[in-house]
Amino acid sequence: MKGATAQIDSQALQHNLAVVRSQIPANTKVVAVVKANAYGHGLVPVAKTLSSADAYAVARLEEALILRSSGIVKPIIMLEGFFSADDLPVLAANNLQTAVHTEEQLQALEQMTLPNPVTVWVKLDTGMHRLGVRPEEVDAFCARLAKCKNVVQPFNFITHFSCADELDNLATARQIELFNQLTKNYSGQRSLASSAGIMEWHDAHADWIRPGIMLYGASPFEGKTGIDHGLHPVMTVKTNLIAVRVLKQGEPVGYGAKWVSPRDTKIGVVAIGYGDGYPRMAPSGVPVLVNGRIVPLVGRVSMDMLTVDLGPDAVDQVGDDVTLWGEGLAVETVAEAIGTIPYELITKLTPRVIMEYK
């Protein structure tokens, strides 16, 4: 027994990329989003497994540099752009593409001397109001970029949806329309859609799509699982039972004595806790898969362990397999029971969890 492992299924990753391709026009290109350590799946192994993607996207310069130093030569886009002018020569030297959305970034591009120009994506704020050039400022911003010797011409356009996972929300259609209107007089490439947009907003496919969560086999839509979309789960988090114990009716288990058994039962002690990235806030009742059946988490999650109610007739033994999410137990189901989203669960595993690639 070795504690918690995250098994990463390379074939599932490749299958999910094929599902992405099957949903878009043949000439639409795919940027595989591998930020945050490929959503917790391991940046370099995931990027190498997805070698048929047309480009990669990250959120931090360090992530881009790790990809380059591992031999990845395809385009890499920095989705949030560079954070300081000092980063710009590093981008140029490593042939990294960047989103641009602030006056500070624009001035850095105008003022610095670079060995070669940089490919940029003007990030447009079409309604998310997090990052992006405001609609009324787009033409002036673009006029300056068009004159900028450090920018590869023509430059490209990118936007991000705030509500694409809500199918009856009109905001997405408004964002698409505004994006099309703002970019209609420019010749660069266009990109709007992440997973929810790819699956449900076909008007948003444009030149480049940016799948993240669907590559990892999970659904961006509440109440759905990746399996509903023909996707395969990529990450399965497993560990073992390290004790099976008798618990009498009326006895509590764990810190704070928060859960009290309503019957005589057997408790399974599972070797995973918040020190591995299993959320401490997970309430009693969250499903856990033990020997092929769902049992409820009971009591508080501790640092290295959690406890499940195996039931009075359980024959489970020390060493038996436990799955926290993945194959056999959808990460979306677990996330919903905890009150979070699959993105957070898969991204937050700690380095103590052993990654196993197959």
Q: Hey, which residues are catalytic here?
A: 35, 255
By beta-carbon proximity to ligand PLP, the closer residue of 202 and 263 is 202
Question: Does the protein bind ligand PLP through residue 229 (CB under 6 A)?
Answer: no
Measured CA distances, 332 to 70, 73, 213, 233, 341 (Å): 32, 34, 11, 10, 7
Question: Does the protein bind ligand PLP through residue 220 (CB under 6 A)?
Answer: yes
Residue 84 burial (C-beta neighbours within 10 Å; 0-12, 13-18, 19+): exposed
Nearest-CA neighbor of 91 among 100, 99, 82? 82
Candidate residues 33, 148, 269, 335; the one interacting with ligand PLP per rule CB under 6 A: 33
Candidate residues 40, 132, 211, 342; the one interacting with ligand PLP per rule CB under 6 A: 211
Contact 283, 338 (CB under 8 A): yes
Within positions 148 to 167, which residues make up the interface with ligand PLP, using CB under 6 A?
160
By beta-carbon proximity to ligand PLP, the closer residue of 192 and 353 is 192
327: tokens are 């194959």
Nearest-CA neighbor of 102 among 87, 118, 124, 75? 124
Q: In angstroms, rounded to a whole number, what is the distance separating the alpha carbons of residues 120 and 96?
A: 9
- The window from 7-15, 108-116, 177-185, 211-219 that contacts ligand PLP (CB under 6 A) reads 211-219
Count of residues in contact with ligand PLP, rule CB under 6 A: 12
**DSSP assignment letter at 34:** -
Within positions 284 to 343, which residues make up the interface with ligand PLP, using CB under 6 A?
none
To ligand PLP, the closest distance from the beta carbon of 164 in angstroms equals 8
Contact 263, 248 (CB under 8 A): no
Q: Which residue is nearest to ligand PLP (CB)?
A: 212
Q: How many residues does the chain have?
A: 358
Question: Does the protein bind ligand PLP through residue 194 (CB under 6 A)?
Answer: yes
Question: Does the protein bind ligand PLP through residue 195 (CB under 6 A)?
Answer: yes
Q: In angstroms, rounded to a whole number, what is the distance separating the alpha carbons of residues 233 and 219?
A: 10
Question: Does the protein bind ligand PLP through residue 28 (CB under 6 A)?
Answer: no
Question: Does the protein bind ligand PLP through residue 231 (CB under 6 A)?
Answer: no
Contacting positions for ligand PLP (CB under 6 A):
33, 35, 79, 160, 194-195, 210-214, 220
